[in-house]
Amino acid sequence: MTYIDTHTHLHFEEFDGDREAVITRAREAGVAQIITLGTGLTSSTQTLEIARRRPHVFAAAGIHPSEAHLAAPGDVDAIRDLAKQEAKIVAIGEIGLDFYWDKTYHREQYQMFRAMLRIARELAMPVAIHNRSAQREMQWFFQEEKITTLDGVMHCFAGEVIDARFYLEMGLHISFTADITFPNFSRGEVLKFVPLDRLLLETDSPFIPPSPLRKQRNEPANVVYVAEKLAEIHRKPREEIARITTGNARRLFRLPQE
């Protein structure tokens, strides 16, 4: 059985002590490929370095909405150059809108998101989109920008069925983290609603550990818990969820078959 963790941040200092062991554990748990995402120019370069040395780890380069106001003038061009030149970079991300953590720099977030989407379009690459406390604003933004189709994923999906429908109609994929394993998770409807052929698995580690491992640092091996929960919801064997989501991730991010 093989899984793909489509969203982690292996460059974070939480992994400094045992990064190699974390990657090995994921491999042993059946995680065939991992995509590790940058959140700014420096971390995008770091993720690339991590990916370069390991055949089954891939990188994404982008500027996260929470770092949009910190970016230097040349950073956007540097992200473009990196994504253009490096075969190990398979997506533009993490990009998007976050009005939960940041209530001050909305204008900078919109500008950065627009610039990152432009790079993705120019290079014909998929995007990994972060959307926190900006469900309505994200949809208004796409409408205003006249963006009706997009290749990529809404990561750590926090919306309802009506929101999922909007993004699915644009052609986007939807991925869930282990927050779906929490006892207080209340959006079971949306888990059922997202069709299997648009579904991806992720950990967003080191954040969001699955319910049984609460308070621990999360890591890519735990993507298995996300698959388990989705298997339960869809009343399918875990093998089938693993197989379908692995195929989806490989198609979207053009990953090798191994």
Q: How far is the CB of 52 from Zn ion (least distance, A)?
A: 20
* CA dihedral (60, 153, 119, 105) positive or negative: negative
Residue with token string 């969820």: 241
Please report whether residue 130 would count as binding Zn ion according to CB under 5 A: yes
In whole angstroms, what is the distance from residue 208 CA to residue 15 CA?
15
Please report whether residue 11 would count as binding Zn ion according to CB under 5 A: no
Identify which of residues 13 and 28 has a Cβ nearer to Zn ion in the complex. 13
Only segment of 65-73, 83-91, 197-205, 233-241 that touches Zn ion (CB under 5 A): 197-205
Please report whether residue 173 would count as binding Zn ion according to CB under 5 A: no
Binding track, positions 36-75, relative to Zn ion; x by CB under 5 A: ----------------------------------------
In whole angstroms, what is the distance from residue 205 CA to residue 177 CA?
9
In whole angstroms, what is the distance from residue 206 CA to residue 19 CA?
11
Any idea what the Cα angle at residue 9 is, between residues 40 and 155, rounded to 5°?
Answer: 85
Q: Are 130 and 172 in contact (CB under 8 A)?
A: no
Any idea what the Cα angle at residue 223 is, between residues 251 and 43, rounded to 5°?
Answer: 75
Q: Are 236 and 199 in contact (CB under 8 A)?
A: no
> How many chain residues touch Zn ion (CB under 5 A)?
3
Q: How far is the CB of 239 from Zn ion (least distance, A)?
A: 27
Residue list 83-102, contact with Zn ion (CB under 5 A): 94
Identify which of residues 187 and 238 has a Cβ nearer to Zn ion in the complex. 187
Identify which of residues 148 and 167 has a Cβ nearer to Zn ion in the complex. 167
Only segment of 11-19, 45-53, 130-138, 139-147 that touches Zn ion (CB under 5 A): 130-138
Q: Site residues (CB under 5 A) for Zn ion?
A: 94, 130, 204
